[in-house]
């Protein structure tokens, strides 16, 4: 019964994506994107696209998404959205974070990125334009990757908080009790590998084009930078995602160290009751505002 129910849900989701794809108008930017994609394929090898293309996508998207949060600290009218207003960012913290990021990106993540080409070759992942899925499929695939990564992150993250392990690895990430966007990938190299492995599991399940790699990178970076931003912005399109945790949920994890272990969604913490301290805290905050 459970298997049949799951199959029916997946089938319904697939039909919904098919319907959306059928009724949506053609993307007006598609001709330009097609030309740019063709130029890339004609002038670069698959290895260059998979390796250096992926590195460029990661670096550009990471620091582009970090930029708004970095600028917020200089804008007085944005301070009302800062979650921990008594703990402002400092230049010393941000510089230390930036140096660690460069080490992680180029000494830990780049060697992993170098394996992208061999991954696409082994699984026969296409690069051509005609095989590229349309954006409703990309969104559905990214959501599937997020569900898989979130489960991996919850349980491995919770293990890293075990008192016998915490001080050796995960304590580095918790160096800042009031997080800011650039700190999203500030972590011990071992943690970068352990928690980063969850990123690739979804790709192994859903990937049917190299562009999904880049779409999933963009989605995951946007999400993790948002929850580490330290700002709870009301008009945030990510809040449209069902069960999305958001900045306030994860900010409490950095402030409290216990609970709220998931990366993207709230259901694992809710199911296993590791959000109880957060719920109590939010109730007290609501009572204070009421009074």
Question: pLDDT of 121-160, one tens digit each?
Answer: 999 999 999 999 888 899 999 999 999 999 999 999 999 9
43: in domain: no
3: in domain: no
Give the number of domains in the chain: 1
Query: What DSSP character marks residue 245?
Result: -
Dihedral angle sign, alpha carbons of residues 211, 212, 215, 216: negative
Residues 155 and 158: their CA atoms lie apart, in Å, by: 5
41: in domain: no
Residue 245 zone, left/alpha/beta (φ > 0; ψ -120 to 50; rest)? alpha
Alpha carbon separation from 156 to 113, 149, 183, 213, 261 (Å, rounded): 22, 10, 19, 23, 9
pLDDT at position 72 over 80: yes
Contact 261, 157 (CB under 8 A): yes
165: in domain: yes
> What's the rounded mean pLDDT across residues 246-255?
95
Counted residue by residue, the chain has a size of: 291
148: in domain: yes
Residue 29's pLDDT band (boundaries 50, 70, 90)? low
Contact 219, 142 (CB under 8 A): yes
Residue listed under structure tokens 């009724």: 23
150: in domain: yes
> What's the rounded mean pLDDT across residues 259-286?
94
17: in domain: no
Residue 88's pLDDT band (boundaries 50, 70, 90)? confident
pLDDT at position 238 over 80: yes
For position 16, what pLDDT does the model report?
52
Residues 34 and 82: their CA atoms lie apart, in Å, by: 41
Q: What are the phi and psi torsion angles at 236 (to 5°)?
A: -120, 115
pTM over 0.85: yes
pLDDT at position 120 over 90: yes
Contact 282, 232 (CB under 8 A): no
139: in domain: yes
Instruction: Determine the structural domain holding residue 267 and report its residue range.
Output: 48-72+81-290
Residue listed under structure tokens 């009301």: 234
């Amino acid at each position: 019964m459970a298997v049949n129910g799951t199959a029916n849900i997946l089938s319904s989701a697939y039909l919904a994506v098919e319907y959306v794809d059928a009724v949506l108008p053609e993307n007006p930017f598609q001709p330009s994107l097609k030309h740019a994609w063709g130029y890339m394929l004609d002038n670069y090898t698959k290895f260059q696209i998979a390796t250096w293309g992926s590195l460029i996508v990661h670096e550009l998207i990471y620091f582009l998404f970090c930029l708004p949060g970095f600028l917020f600290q200089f804008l007085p009218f944005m301070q009302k959205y800062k979650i921990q207003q008594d703990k402002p960012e400092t230049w010393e913290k941000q510089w230390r974070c930036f140096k660690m990021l460069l080490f992680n990106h180029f000494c830990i993540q780049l060697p992993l990125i170098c394996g992208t080409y061999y991954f696409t070759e082994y699984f026969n992942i296409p690069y051509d334009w005609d095989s590229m899925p349309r954006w409703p499929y990309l969104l559905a695939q990214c959501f599937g990757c997020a569900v898989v990564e979130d489960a991996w992150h919850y349980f491995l993250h919770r293990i890293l908080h075990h008192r016998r392990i915490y001080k050796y690895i995960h304590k580095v990430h918790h160096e800042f009790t009031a997080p800011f966007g650039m700190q999203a990938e500030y972590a011990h190299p071992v943690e970068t590998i352990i928690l980063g492995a969850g990123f690739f599991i979804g790709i192994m399940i859903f990937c049917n084009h190299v562009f999904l790699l880049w779409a999933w990178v963009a989605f995951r970076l946007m999400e993790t930078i948002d929850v580490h931003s330290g700002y709870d912005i009301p008009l945030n399109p990510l809040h449209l995602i069902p069960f999305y945790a958001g900045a306030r949920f994860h900010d409490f994890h950095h402030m409290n160290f216990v609970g709220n272990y998931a990366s993207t969604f709230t259901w694992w913490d809710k199911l296993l009751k590791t959000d109880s301290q957060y719920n109590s805290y939010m109730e007290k905050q609501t009572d204070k505002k009421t009074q």
